[in-house]
């Protein structure tokens, strides 16, 4: 299988969230990709957890392998004007997009500064990678597909890759994505996290066989290995036409990042 992995991470010292249970080193990721047949990947930062510098350095060292995505926490920016400046700087640094992680960074995805970030990204030609698993203790959020419906309407010119597909509500998200040309539904992490759920396996198989131009897949390395993810995708796409599988595994992301050039 030819794979353009939608979501991978590395850290400078190889630790992951300060622990060593996962190996988040660049060398391990490259080896994993080579064995799995993943020729390219989005290399993604997480604000306050993964430094943007290690992401852009790794991407410049391997420009044919990685599309660098910066992390940004809009919560720490004082005003929406500061948001605009931060997004402009990320563009100048050579990143292809911005990762927003409302759960880890502790903000409501409908916060005005988050919306301003998404809007500014579109103005500067950056793709937003939005973690759609919004739930966290102590902070109530709306139903995830409804949140994304609002964001898509508020920022119609911003391309968004909807990481993890909102998990168990992926079919509701699908109905939104199919109406919005700027959205892609991603099933990284969800592929592995919910394996064994007959209903969700059936839902993913349905998405793969019926809406292949709207879906992408990835490993969320180092949470899961690229090799294990490829095996899982092969399982879920059994019996599906090769051209549809190609869209899901690499062509959709190639189209999304077609205009990106390494600085």
Residue 239: give its domain's CATH number. 3.20.20.140
Over 80: is that where the pLDDT of 78 sits?
A: no
3-state SS class at 90: helix
The set of residues, in sequence order, having a beta carbon less than 8 Å from that of 111 and lying 6+ positions away, is: 74, 75
Q: Tell me, yes or no, whether 259 lies in a domain.
A: no
Query: Can you tell me the mean pLDDT for 216-226?
Result: 98
Over 90: is that where the pLDDT of 169 sits?
A: yes
Q: Give the phi and the psi of residue 130 in degrees, each rounded to 5.
A: -105, 120
Instruction: For the beta carbon of residue 127, count every other beta carbon within 10 angstroms.
Output: 26
Rounded CA gap, 141 and 103, in Å?
A: 10
- Run of H or E residues at 150: helix 144-154
Q: Tell me, yes or no, whether 262 lies in a domain.
A: no
Instruction: For the beta carbon of residue 42, count every other beta carbon within 10 angstroms.
Output: 30
Contact 53, 18 (CB under 8 A): no
**Average model confidence (pLDDT) for the chain?**
95
Q: Give the phi and the psi of residue 110 in degrees, each rounded to 5.
A: -95, 5
Q: Tell me, yes or no, whether 263 lies in a domain.
A: no
pLDDT of residue 243: 97
Rounded CA gap, 163 and 127, in Å?
A: 12
Query: Can you tell me the mean pLDDT for 219-229?
Result: 97
Q: Tell me, yes or no, whether 174 lies in a domain.
A: yes
Higher-scoring residue by pLDDT: 36, 135: 36
In this predicted model, what pLDDT tens digit does every residue of 24-46 receive, in sequence order?
Answer: 999 999 999 999 999 999 999 99
Q: Tell me, yes or no, whether 246 lies in a domain.
A: yes
Q: Tell me, yes or no, whether 189 lies in a domain.
A: yes
Over 90: is that where the pLDDT of 141 sits?
A: no
Half-sphere exposure of 120 (CA within 13 A, CB side): 21
pLDDT of residue 103: 94
Which domain range does residue 158 map to? 3-254
pLDDT of residue 80: 85
Q: Tell me, yes or no, whether 260 lies in a domain.
A: no
What is the tally of structural domains in the chain? 1
Rounded CA gap, 247 and 211, in Å?
A: 10
Global confidence as pTM: 0.96
């Amino acid at each position: 299988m030819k794979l353009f992995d939608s979501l991978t991470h590395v850290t400078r010292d190889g630790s992951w969230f300060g622990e060593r249970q996962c190996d988040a080193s660049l060398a391990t990721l490259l080896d994993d990709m080579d064995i799995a047949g993943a020729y390219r990947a989005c290399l993604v930062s997480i604000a306050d957890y993964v430094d943007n510098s290690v992401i852009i350095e790794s991407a410049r060292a391997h420009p044919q392998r990685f599309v660098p995505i910066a992390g940004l926490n809009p919560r720490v920016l004082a005003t929406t004007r500061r948001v605009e400046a931060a997004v402009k700087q990320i563009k100048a640094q050579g990143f292809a997009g911005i990762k927003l992680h409302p759960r880890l960074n502790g903000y409501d995805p409908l916060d005005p500064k988050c919306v301003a970030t998404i809007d500014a990204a579109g103005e500067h030609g950056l793709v937003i990678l939005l973690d759609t698993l919004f739930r966290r203790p102590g902070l109530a959020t709306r139903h995830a597909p409804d949140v994304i419906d609002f964001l898509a309407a508020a920022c119609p010119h911003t391309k968004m890759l909807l990481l993890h597909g909102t998990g168990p509500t992926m079919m509701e998200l699908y109905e939104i994505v199919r109406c919005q040309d700027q959205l892609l539904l991603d099933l990284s992490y969800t592929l592995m996290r919910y394996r064994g759920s007959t209903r969700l396996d059936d839902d993913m198989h349905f998405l793969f066989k019926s809406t292949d131009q709207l879906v992408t897949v990835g490993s969320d390395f180092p949470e899961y290995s690229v090799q294990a993810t490829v095996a899982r995708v092969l399982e879920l796409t059994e019996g599906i036409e090769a051209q549809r599988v190609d869209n899901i595994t690499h062509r959709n992301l190639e189209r999304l990042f077609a205009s990106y050039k390494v600085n």
